[in-house]
Amino acid sequence: MHNAQLLGDMADLQLQLGLWDDAKGSLARLLAIEPANATARYRLAVAERATGHAAAAQPLLAGLVAEGHAHPAVLQELARAEAQLGHWDAVFKALAPLDAGSLAVDEADAVRLLRVRALHHLGDLQAGLAEAEAWHQARGASLPTLGLAAMATLQLDAEQLDAAAALVASASPEQLAGNAELATAAGFVALSQGHADAARALLSQGAQQQPSLGRAHLGLGLAAAYSGDLPRAVEALKAATAATPGHLGSWHALAWMQMLNQDFAGAEVSLQAALAQDANFGETHGGLALLAALRGDRESAEAHLRTGTRLDAKGVNVTVARVALQQGSGPMDARVLEPALQRFMGLASARSPAMQGLMARMMPRRS
């Protein structure tokens, strides 16, 4: 077929029907006829990203923007491609020219969501919260479920538990049942309130709906730890690290569960995996120093402690490891270990009688 108009119409219909591969074939034939066709290049990028080929979509879209085709739809699609690639700085840059307030509601929601996600991934929690709150104020009770989920997750990471609790309480049962991230956020809220059974139900829903959601598996690990069930906690935390190997908190939570279970070899593997993700995180070196101290390996403990102190002198694990070396061999005072456990196990250790009892048994207090 050599009719450019017909190929364009066919590709448009295929895109509307979600026939991505067919659309790519039609667009490839169209671009062979009209290589500079901006609309066809944009549509091809949409099809590439929709089929998981963001690396193919990104240069097509960046090229269009560079040529002056900086239309809102093109910028949004570029931001989506950059997000799939994990280029969060580039996501924010792509969206910078857009004023969400001047866009149609659906487009504004898409831009706001991408900005909140980008700021969250970049670690600028306060800017992310400000963006999310502005979105919430603009949409009120009509804030889409994806917005509720993203905002609740951000509030949890910013340790705004009361705000997160109020937000998930405003969600309808249908919204909770239909979104894995929102159910997971509600599970963390329930755990923070001491409702372990409700937390497990919500977190299990999140993990089943979206098995790649590491946060849901992390929550299940914390819920199991809350109940003092170490084997189940370790199993869930291993699932969390498998789903999101770049999340250092999951590796540290797993290492702590393994240390409490006296599985020092397992804790070593977990902390080394965290170190492979980020060799400049002082708490990982502090954890390795503590682990070496618990094993009686003073030379290794001191080496890791020196590195940990250089990177984060006030780190919790660094502080605990330093005390461990001062105290010498033998069981550590649980009161010394407690701050580090709370740092990496969070709600599970802070509010769980079972967890406190486990601490007392595994690492008895010294008189």
* pLDDT per residue as tens digits for the range 78-128: 999 999 999 999 999 999 999 998 999 999 999 999 999 999 999 999 999
Q: What is the mean pLDDT of residues 181-188?
A: 95
In this prediction, residue 345 carries a pLDDT of 53
- Residue 109: name the closest of 71, 149, 69, 70 by CA: 149
Answering whether pTM is above 0.95, one says no
- Whether 272 has a pLDDT exceeding 90, the answer reads yes
| Start-to-end Cα distance in the chain | 87
Domains belonging to the chain, first-starting first, are: 1-98 (1.25.40.10), 247-367 (1.25.40)
**What is the band of 332 on the pLDDT scale with cuts at 50, 70, 90?**
low
Compute the half-sphere exposure of residue 29: CA atoms within 13 Å on the CB side of its CA. 16
In this prediction, residue 363 carries a pLDDT of 40
Condensed to tens digits (0 to 9), the pLDDT of residues 1-10 reads 578 889 888 9
- Residue 71: name the closest of 103, 44, 47, 101 by CA: 103
Residue 357 exposed, middle or buried by CB count within 10 Å (0-12, 13-18, 19+): exposed
Please list, in sequence order, all residues whose beta carbon lies within 8 angstroms of the beta carbon of residue 208, skipping any fewer than 6 positions away. none
- Whether 350 has a pLDDT exceeding 70, the answer reads no
Q: What is the mean pLDDT of residues 342-354?
A: 51
DSSP assigned state of 87:
-
- What sign has the CA pseudo-torsion 169, 212, 22, 114? positive
